[in-house]
Amino acid sequence: MRTGDDLIVLGSGVEPARPVVRSVLRGARGTCPACGRGALFSRLLTTVPACPACGEELHHHRADDLPAYLNILVTGHVVVGTMMVAMTFELLPLWTLTALTVALAVTAAFALMRPLKGMVVAAQWALGMHGFGGHDD
């Protein structure tokens, strides 16, 4: 519930607004959705319990399988679309196309996983979901 341009009611109190787009872009870069300075991940896909720069608690997130589903959706559309265009115009021999399609799918899946997870965690933070808003789900 918005109470002004820079305040929002989350849980039991009034806190500074959490712009969703800015937060999601910070999450895609792998930085803290609150300050944009601290790292969001300690390892490949392991999120930090709290931001090392501003101290914002991030352990509440429940990204679960959503980043993987989004990855499958995006990667599948890009790879299958590319493959169908190449097959329609017979741009490459079938075995070459198969090898390139597999390589493209694996590369795209690995490249997208971390930014997608960061975006999901940041969106949950910005929207006050799963304990980020100071309330129990």
pLDDT in tens, 1-55: 444 455 555 555 556 689 999 999 999 999 999 999 999 999 999 999 999 999 9
Mean of the per-residue pLDDT values of the chain = 89
Stated pTM of the model:
0.84
* Total of domains in the chain: 1
The CA R_g of the chain, rounded to the nearest whole Å, is 19
How large is the average pLDDT for residues 88-110?
Answer: 96
Residue 106 included in any domain = yes
User: For residue 131, which phi and psi values (nearest 5 degrees)?
Assistant: 90, -10
The domain in which residue 28 lies consists of 7-127
CA 109 to CA 27: how far, in whole Å?
17
Residue 116 included in any domain = yes
Residue 2 included in any domain = no
Residue 136 included in any domain = no
How large is the average pLDDT for residues 96-114?
Answer: 97
Segment 55-81, tens digit of pLDDT? 999 998 999 999 999 999 999 999 999
In three-state form (DSSP H/G/I as H, E/B as E, the rest C), the secondary structure along 1-61 is: CECCCCEEEECCEEEECCCHHHHHHHHHHCECCCCCCCECECCCCCECCECCCCCCECCCC
- Taking Cα atoms as reference points, which of 42, 6, 8 lies closest to residue 127? 8
